[in-house]
Amino acid sequence: MTPDQHAVVARILSARQQEPGALLPILHDIQDQLGYIPETAIADIAFAMNRSKAEIHGVISFYHDFKMSPPAAHELRLCRAEACQSMGSDALAAHVHACTGIDEHGQTADGQLAVRPVYCLGACATSPAMLVDGQLHARVTKEALDAVLQPILNKTTGGAA
């Protein structure tokens, strides 16, 4: 961790560590502020929470949301659950695959775009749905997908990592 990152983690730990069951809020706070949870933060978290590093690792790896490497510049999450499938999300996923080479989950080599599935966004009456950089889109068409995807891809050097 950089000294700055270290200070962020220390601040979050001292603010939260007395709360009952504080580990998930702590991990969320760290990821919100640093974009991911650095490997080297784990020792600090373990020490503050009086738990083993292995335990902290176990918790981080259990949850799909937590990342241990720096995030891509942009993130596209297509809903792959049943309601969105019934409205053509598989075709949207195939289009993303055709444009990026990323199948279900992965990122472009230059770190511009990460693609990650999501299972239901609560938008199932206006399917298909997707999240782009945290922004929810519903009734997504191939054109609407391209309108957000192509500008990101124009910045990339292309190719899946």
Residues near another protein (CB under 8 A): 20-25, 27-28, 49, 58-59, 62-66, 81-87, 118-127, 129, 134, 136-139
Residue 63: which of another protein, ligand FES, none does it interact with, CB under 5 to 8 A by kind?
another protein
26 within 8 A of 60, measured Cβ to Cβ: no
Give the separation between CA 70 and CA 151, rounded to whole angstroms.
21
Task: Say if residues 161 and 106 touch (Cβ distance below 8 Å).
Answer: yes
Q: How far is the CB of 139 from ligand FES (least distance, A)?
A: 11
Burial of 148: CB neighbours in 10 Å, binned 0-12, 13-18, 19+: middle
The 77-96 contact track toward ligand FES, x by CB under 6 A, reads --x-xxxx------------
The Cβ of residue 13 has, within 10 Å, a number of other Cβ atoms equal to 19
Q: Which is nearer to ligand FES, 124 or 160 (CB)?
A: 124
Residues at the site binding ligand FES, with contacts judged by CB under 6 A: 79, 81-84, 120-124, 127, 129
